[in-house]
Chain A
Amino acid sequence: MVPTIIATGVLSIPSIAGRFARHDMWMTPIIGSVIGFITVFIVWKLHQLYPKMTPIQYSEKILGKAGGKLFSFLIVFFYIHNTGIVIRQYSDFITGNVLQQTPSIIFSITILFVSALAVRGGIEVIARSAVICTTIFMITSLALLLLIKDLELGYMLPLLENGWLPVLKGSFIHNAWFSEFFLLAFIFPFVHHSGKKGLKSGMKTCLYVMLILFYVHFFVLTMLGVSSVNQFYPVYSIVRAIRVFGFFENFEVIITASWVLGNFVKVSVFLFVASLGLAQLLNLSDYRLIVFPLSLLLLLFSYWDIPNIVVLTDYMTKIQPFYFVSVQTVLPLVLLLIALARKKRSEHV
């Protein structure tokens, strides 16, 4: 779960968050994570009410047939759309920075292909390979520590120059990422010990994500200062600065390569949720059948929607926080409230 969120988050949040919060951007993930904790709690509560069911299934129980279908359609469509964006983000990043001459669609196709392979293997395969990929991904993230000697703590000053408002605005960007914890709703039904332990591990994940984002923000801010705002991928720029023994330089390709791992995990989790959701929405017996056709659709989605990176950043800044939070946190919250109310009523009767 952790890499699912960080993978894309690491890439571009610092720049957007920084635009609002400037010197205080290191605080943003901490505040942003609140949404994450709330989402995890909602998801867990819903899971307690309807164990062994995905949101697609229990939404029908809560909202009735038509309402449930509408809700499920919203969720599934949201994930299809969203996965398209994730893929676009990833392949744009690679064509923009690493392999300029290769058309970006090649990267979209390849990442979708490997993810689809994993998704066809089932949730177990995704989880098992995610464990390994995450480990490698994390180890390479430690490379940032090599920058310690170049840090300028002075960039962090002055604290709260313009009060709390910019910080809050910046952290709102994070909300989009943290609300992705709603994915857990699709994963909980497959987990063995999903009682109190599920809640605990969900919360823990949220905490880890927060810490890692904090770690990244801290490095970006203290390396680049406020100028990080002007770059699309500030982390990429600071990794460029790593130099060890005057021999190992230009680490960025290795870091990018490990981001491929992170993105693989992210795309496969999203694809899994999208295809599982769609299969349940259409009452198909096996979601594996639609994985490959759906991947093709996702590929189209990733190019329909976004003409270029400027639009993408704009989308991430202005639309995504509201869009994501409303679908992934507010909607489930409404669902939970209705479910609780129904339960109350049935208890009365």
Chain B
Amino acid sequence: MKEKEFDESDFLCSIKNHLPVSNIKRVSTFSACIDAVANGNPVLLFDGYEEAFSLGLVKFEKRSIEEPQAETSIRGPREGFTESLGVNTSLLRRIIKDPALKMKSIHVGKYTKTKVVISYIEGLVDKALIVEIENRLNRINIDGVLESGYIEQFIEDQPYSPFPQLLYTERPDVVSANLLEGRAVLMIEGTPFSLVAPVSFFSLFQSQEDYYERFWVGTFIRALRFLFLVIALFLPSTYVAITTFHQEMVPTDLLLSIASSRETVPFPAFVEVIIMEVAFEALREAGIRLPKQVGSAVSIVGALVIGQAAVQAGIVSAPMLIVVSITGIASFMVPRYSVGLAIRLLRFPIILLGASLGLIGVMLALIMIIIHLSTLRSFGIPYLSPINTLQKHPFKDTIFRSPLWKMKSRPHFTGNYQEKRQGTNIKPGSK
């Protein structure tokens, strides 16, 4: 009689209750055991029993939370995501405490089995978006995922476009802001970078600090960014076009000084600008990859070589040097590095068009970029929304940064959405 009472499950249950481990999973197959061990969990086997316990005692070494390196800010939280997914989700939970914050996890990669977490706020996000993201993630069938870039390149809408269709960030506050606007965020194990979807062209030009500082400042800085976007894309090509085809546009004094400085230069403006741009790109690339100690040496030498020395040697003209360096600065103005890369790439074909057809060529390039951006979509959202999709208040949070108490509605993507995000009458001083 006594033996019958001593039930198998009872025995396992009592063991489970006596073990001082919170995360215990029952595993019943051989492969599940192997998976558990491969994940770093010890497995407790019992003689004569068909089930075993996988004890959640895994402890990997991880980096502590540090200030994000790629996205620094003056004002704003100083903590960034780390490579550990558990730390990242807890950072997020600490900011958004509502149970509506959901996290769904999917494993991607045949060998790495990387955990990818889709997080969103239920009620704010369009459900179809989550389904679409899941479908696209499930389609991925590769050996391993080492960085968010792997995921990004498999789930974007237009793989041939130079423009990024997902935003990556390592700041919990950026992620939270996007979640609160009704977007979905993919957090990937092993990398501090999370992916935000969907994005529009204009959201790539916003930095979180725009919202932390006064709105005048935010608006001014955004205007500056768009100005420098135009400069970064079109300044070198326009310079080439004007000096080659439309000299009459340049005021006489300026024309004379340009002409005199170009006198000793043997190359046409087009060759000159290509030499300088390529040298500049090379310098930048070399500066990033090298160890810090060598990097500074490269930048000093580079500054000398493509600086004054090149002008004195008569290889390039001084105005060209100014153009190239302004363009260089301008391409750093974009708060998202990936957009900066797109701009750097596009610059070269535009220079070519500008050198062959003058300003008309530059305009044709502009038209082509506009066409391309109009065709692009990020998870079904037109890339240029809300500027040219005939929505209400298209400029409120794109070119301008209106005061926080005026941003009453969430951005609208597709499908149903909750418009209101603020109470009424919250302007300071109103009754």
Contact = CB atoms under 8 A, between A and B. Distances in A.
A118 B357 contact: no
A102 interface: yes
B19 interface: no
A133 B367 contact: yes
A257 interface: yes
A121 interface: yes
A199 interface: no
A271 to B, nearest CB: 13
Interface stretch (B140-148, B181-189, B380-388): B380-388
B374 A129 contact: yes
B371 A121 contact: yes
B366 A261 contact: yes
B251 A117 contact: no
Interface in A225-257: 246-251, 253-254, 256-257
Interface in B379-412: 382, 384, 387-389
Contact of B368 (A117, A127, A249): A117
B345 interface: no
B284 to A, nearest CB: 30
Contact of B357 (A99, A117, A131, A261): A99
A279 interface: no
Interface in A18-57: none
Nearest to A107: B360
Contact of A129 (B245, B246, B370): B370
Given A98-B360, A121-B375, A132-B387, A253 B370 contact: no
A261 B361 CA distance: 11
A260 B363 contact: yes
A248 B360 contact: no
Contacts of B366: 261
Interface string B351-380: 000000111111110111011001100000
Contacts of B388: 127-129, 131-132
A121 B251 CA distance: 41
A117 B249 contact: no
Contacts of A111: 364
Interface in B245-297: 245-246, 248-249, 251
A110 B357 contact: yes
A249 B359 contact: no
Most buried by B among A118, A129, A261, A264: A129
A114 B363 CA distance: 11
Contacts of A94: 360
Contact of A258 (B246, B357, B363, B387): B363
Nearest to A130: B388
A261 B246 contact: no
Interface residues of B, number: 25
A105 to B, nearest CB: 13
Contacts of B370: 129, 132-133
Nearest to B374: A128
Interface string A265-293: 00000000000000000000000000000
A337 B34 CA distance: 81
Main secondary structure of the interface of B (DSSP, over half): helix
Contact of B360 (A99, A117, A125, A246): A99
Given A106-B357, A107-B360, A132-B388, A253 B246 contact: yes
A96 to B, nearest CB: 13
A342 B371 CA distance: 43
Contacts of A260: 360, 363-364, 367
B375 to A, nearest CB: 5
Contacts of B374: 118, 121, 124-125, 128-129, 132
B384 to A, nearest CB: 6
A254 B234 CA distance: 13
A129 B388 CA distance: 8
A258 B374 CA distance: 19
Contacts of A99: 245, 357-358, 360
Most buried by A among B359, B374, B389: B374
Interface string A122-165: 00110111011100000000000000000000000000000000
Contacts of A257: 359-360, 362-363
A303 to B, nearest CB: 19
A264 B364 CA distance: 9
A128 B368 contact: no
B358 A98 contact: yes
B226 to A, nearest CB: 13
Contacts of B362: 257
B371 A114 contact: yes
B167 to A, nearest CB: 21
A264 B388 CA distance: 17
A80 B362 CA distance: 27
A128 B359 contact: no
Given A99-B357, A110-B357, A133-B370, A249 B384 contact: no
The 8 tightest CB contacts between A and B, nearest first, are A128-B374, A131-B388, A260-B363, A257-B359, A129-B374, A257-B363, A129-B370, A128-B388
24 contacts: A98-B360, A99-B245, A99-B357, A106-B357, A110-B357, A114-B364, A118-B371, A118-B374, A121-B374, A124-B374, A128-B382, A129-B374, A132-B384, A132-B388, A133-B367, A247-B251, A249-B249, A251-B249, A253-B249, A253-B358, A257-B359, A257-B362, A257-B363, A261-B363
Given A121-B375, A129-B371, 19 more contacts: A94-B360, A98-B359, A99-B357, A107-B360, A110-B357, A110-B364, A114-B371, A128-B382, A129-B388, A132-B384, A248-B251, A249-B249, A250-B246, A250-B249, A251-B249, A256-B359, A257-B360, A260-B360, A260-B363
